Amino acid sequence: MAKPGEKRLLILQTLAAMLENPKGEKITTAALAARLECSEAALYRHFASKAQMYEGLIEFIESSLFGVINQISAEEAQGLQQVEHILALLLNFAQRNRGMTKVLTGDALVNENERLQARINQLLDRIEAALKQALRVAATQDQISANADFGGLANILLCYVIGRWQQYAKSGFNREPMAHWAQHWPMLYVACLSQRTV
């Protein structure tokens, strides 16, 4: 018999797998219970609500992304290389975790508790702040202008990532986020180098 922690993990893994369905049907606790071959009551022994299940997925996303972002910030000395690695991480994570992409874009959270979208918005704000900090590092190294609009540039870079996530989710996971990355990064790099405050 599975331990409580193992059962919780299995529930979250199954929910993430169900989110990978390109058709994007609304996931009910009844459908989730059927997939797990258990009762809905059994689900609620591990999670108080479906919203709490989604919170578990968001916690997984947060720990996965920020664990690596913190590592990049600590180990990569060059600011623009930090930016490149963070962007590649965000695209790669989505490509490897289809169901999580729908959580990141908010598609999976439609009609769910509004606090879930608020939490994703907070996560995106933290990512933007990490990009902004990497750009500041780049400026101290004379890689980009000290007069650059760090906030504006970080926002454009985040919008690029969100756009790639959206294309992936809306295409039924056909348009992979890492496709064309080798061509896109040099363009983004030039945008970083040329950015100035007007």
- Reported as a single tens digit per residue, the pLDDT across 5-37 is 788 999 999 999 999 987 767 789 999 999 999
Q: What is the pLDDT of residue 195?
A: 63
Residue 168, pLDDT > 70, answer yes
Q: What is the pLDDT of residue 111?
A: 86
Contacts 24+ apart (CB under 8 A), 151-154: 152/195, 153/191, 153/192, 153/195, 154/128, 154/129
Provide the pLDDT confidence category of residue 1 given band limits of 50, 70 and 90.
Answer: very low
pLDDT digits (tens, 9 = 90+) for 41-78: 999 999 999 999 999 999 999 999 999 999 999 999 99
pLDDT digits (tens, 9 = 90+) for 98-118: 999 999 999 999 888 999 999
3-state secondary structure of 113: coil
Task: Tell me the C-alpha distance between 157 and 145, whole Å.
Answer: 17
Q: What is the pLDDT of residue 198?
A: 42
The residues, ordered by sequence, that sit 6+ positions from 111 with a Cβ below 8 Å of its Cβ are: 26
The amino acid occupying position 136 is R
Structure tokens at 30: 């009844």
Which CATH number is 50-194 given? 1.10.357.10
Provide the pLDDT confidence category of residue 136 given band limits of 50, 70 and 90.
Answer: very high
Q: What is the pLDDT of residue 21?
A: 85
Contact call for residues 80 and 105 (beta carbons, < 8 A): no
Residue 197, pLDDT > 60, answer no
pTM value is 0.92
